[in-house]
Amino acid sequence: MAQASVTRRYRFCAAHRLHTDHLSPEENWAAFGKCNNPNGHGHNYIVLVTMKSGAPAAAGRVLDLNRLDRIVTEQVVSRFDHRDLNRDPEFADCTTTGENLVLLIWDLLVKHLPSGQLEKVGLIETRDNYFEYAGGVGKVE
Ligand SMILES: [Zn+2]
């Protein structure tokens, strides 16, 4: 049975600094380069949330996009917009990389959405950096 997907786009602006206390200052610089700047820097993040449509095309749309918008706004946009990601409790012990952020966004959304409907979360950090998670293995620290 053919099943289409729907992707909705959301935005938030946030600051962060790529840094880990597990590395020396020199190792941090080697690993993260200018993103290790002590003063931090900002991104205009774009979040792409892909949902299974939930029904064959002939049956029409089952997915409630208004509900999806509300959940993403409450769980993701309001939480991160105009914030310093390094101060978020979820990042107390892990670095605010795009990989970790996209995994966190998945975790924040999946528990509020109908089981099995969240297909993929994408995160555009810069013009050239895109991160993606489609469920599966646990969070990477
Ligand atoms: Zn950055």
- Please report whether residue 98 resides in a domain: yes
Q: How far apart are CA 48 and CA 68, in angstroms?
A: 12
Rounded to the nearest whole angstrom, what is the distance from the C-alpha of residue 91 to the centroid of ligand 1? 14
pLDDT in tens, 6-32: 999 999 999 999 999 899 999 999 999
CB 45 within 8 A of CB 14: yes
pLDDT score for 4: 86
Give me the chain's average pLDDT, please: 90
Rounded to the nearest whole angstrom, what is the distance from the C-alpha of residue 17 to the centroid of ligand 1? 6
Catalytic sites, residue numbers: 35, 82, 125
- Please report whether residue 61 resides in a domain: yes
Answer yes or no: is pLDDT of 123 > 90.
Answer: yes
User: At 55, is the pLDDT very low, low, confident or very high (cuts 50, 70, 90)?
Assistant: low
Average pLDDT of span 37-49: 96
User: At 38, is the pLDDT very low, low, confident or very high (cuts 50, 70, 90)?
Assistant: very high
Rounded to the nearest whole angstrom, what is the distance from the C-alpha of residue 137 to the centroid of ligand 1? 25
Based on the structure, what is the number of domains in the chain?
A: 1
User: At 141, is the pLDDT very low, low, confident or very high (cuts 50, 70, 90)?
Assistant: very low
Q: Domain of residue 22: give its range.
A: 5-133
- Please report whether residue 141 resides in a domain: no
